[in-house]
Structure 1
């Protein structure tokens, strides 16, 4: 199992980024895919047409999202923590993901960098 940490600069305020990550209709706008999301702990979510699915664990409006991402039959939970920090160019989005299965690590890193963060950045650059 591996861990991943990265920072992405999103050209929008922390409150805008938070809404983009927690409101179904906004998630659909920046991903182009159906989403199921409710900013309530202990609810399940899915994004990117089900490619990302899991359970919401905690929310701090405009500041922090904690989720468990499912990986098939893995026994250890993969926990994703997204922290939003004000930045002179908008928001610094800090991403931490723990317990990524070794065989999925490269795909997860690529997904964070070239799909998830890239789509969010593009959404606010338009």
Structure 2
């Protein structure tokens, strides 16, 4: 199963990219504890080990591709994958999220709501407050 989400955040692509790929930034912008780096091949955790994955492709300030595995995945489930595309438009950045290979036994709305509630909403608040 796969889906695509888009949102606009009042921040530069560089600010979002750097925050996503740093332990301190990711933790602050989402409110969930994360350990992450900006190196291809490095593993990461987010939301206190609820999410685990690996950085697969990193194109500074434009694209992030990561394997993504939730703690609710079954042992037999393959890792899902996220692709984040950052497109800066004036003082804002359009973030496009493509999430592929999510477990078939989960409703896609479960993941869509999770992205909105645990990422997009706190990210918007974080960058708005940071201004």
TM-score by length of 1: 0.90
Q: How many residues align?
A: 125
Instruction: Tell me the distance in 1 between the aligned counterparts of 2:84 and 2:59.
Output: 10
Q: Please say if residues 9 and 89 of structure 1, whose CA atoms lie closer than 8 Å, have aligned partners that are also in contact.
A: no
Instruction: Tell me the distance in 1 between the aligned counterparts of 2:8 and 2:76.
Output: 31
Equivalent residues in 2 for 1:31-70, closer than 5 Å? 31-70=30-69
Secondary structure at 1:50 match in 2: coil
Instruction: Tell me the C-alpha RMSD between the 2 structures.
Output: 1.4
Aligned-pair distance for 1:9?
A: 0.2
List gaps (5 residues or longer) in structure 2: none
Instruction: Tell me the distance in 1 between the aligned counterparts of 2:40 and 2:65.
Output: 9
For residues 3-46 of structure 1, the C-alpha deviation after alignment (integer angstroms, 9 at most, x for no partner) is 01011101000000101101111112122232110111111101
Instruction: Tell me the distance in 2 between the aligned counterparts of 1:110 and 1:26.
Output: 22
Equivalent in the alignment of 2:19: 20
TM-score by length of 2: 0.87
Instruction: Tell me the distance in 2 between the aligned counterparts of 1:50 and 1:77.
Output: 15
Instruction: Tell me the distance in 1 between the aligned counterparts of 2:128 and 2:31.
Output: 16
Equivalent residues in 2 for 1:37-116, closer than 5 Å? 37-70=36-69, 71-104=73-106, 105-116=108-119
Q: Which is worse superposed, 21-30 or 65-74?
A: 65-74
Q: Please say if residues 31 and 122 of structure 2, whose CA atoms lie closer than 8 Å, have aligned partners that are also in contact.
A: no
